[in-house]
Amino acid sequence: MPKCLILSLHDVLTWEYLQALMPGLTSRTSLRPKVRRIVRALEKALGVPEQSAVLPPPLDMLVATILSQNTNDKNSHRAYVSLRERYRTWELTATAPLRNLKSAIRVGGMANQKGVRIRKILKQINNRYGKFDLSALKAKSSDEIIAELTALDGVGPKTAACVLLFSLGRDVFPVDTHVHRICTRLGFVPHSGSPEKTFEAMRPLVPKGKGYSFHTNLIRFGRRICRSNNPVCSICPVFSDCVYPDKGKTKAGRRESSADHDFMLLDNVRA
């Protein structure tokens, strides 16, 4: 059989996914102009986000991202601040009585699960690198970093991508459930997909140098306008590009102010 006809399972799954994503198309690159257009439209409507020149250590960001799961940014920030005030080093955090660790992060929600996960991950990192530190990741490629971080218990592609973007300054585009929802409404990925598949599908589509801007503005856009329930379609800056079946059908809602929804935990992680 000719070598060119031998397909791996990954090739087949990727091909089927792309067919569902864009029937009749053979390349993801066909979506690039649309993505660029939406990046520009959101920057015009919401501004161009500026990332801090001073970024936190990767282990700090990893723990903060875990605390951000299934809660809002303000509560997860309170949990992170409480944790760092009680335990000034990650070694102290890893060796603290579990009940005390859970108490320190309880304000962020799901303290029982997150406390166990954080302590386990800290111990895995210490066993792997010989210290409570992830600075060795800085010398590795983004794909290598994703592979190393997702090998830790409870760390998925979104958490790994957040460490890359918000700590290591890499030009990546993290996808959580909210970003995934908007990507489906804009027709970048099928509704039957997942945040993990959307992360992979969007990697070649996001314009170079726009990972932080696009991620941040989609979060803002989702909080202010394209909400999960009752989106404010009447003021949507990308309405014409939206493929959401119910667009324009919801009742006119109040547009949330920037003061209400621009705070992001991962931009406010301090050692």
Handedness of CA 70, 214, 189, 146 (dihedral sign): negative
251 carries an active-site annotation: no
Token readout for 125 is 């990192």
Whether the CA torsion 230, 236, 242, 246 is positive or negative: it is positive
Which among 102, 114, 158, 197 is annotated as catalytic? 158
Give the span between the Cα atoms of 232 and 86, in whole angstroms: 41
Residues 6+ apart with CB under 8 A from 1: none
CB atoms within 10 A of CB 51: 14
φ/ψ of residue 101, rounded to 5: -65, -45
**Scanning the structure block, which residue is given the tokens 């066909």?**
30
CA distance 210 to 208: 6
End-to-end CA distance of the chain: 57
CB 118 within 8 A of CB 101: yes
Catalytic center residues: 158
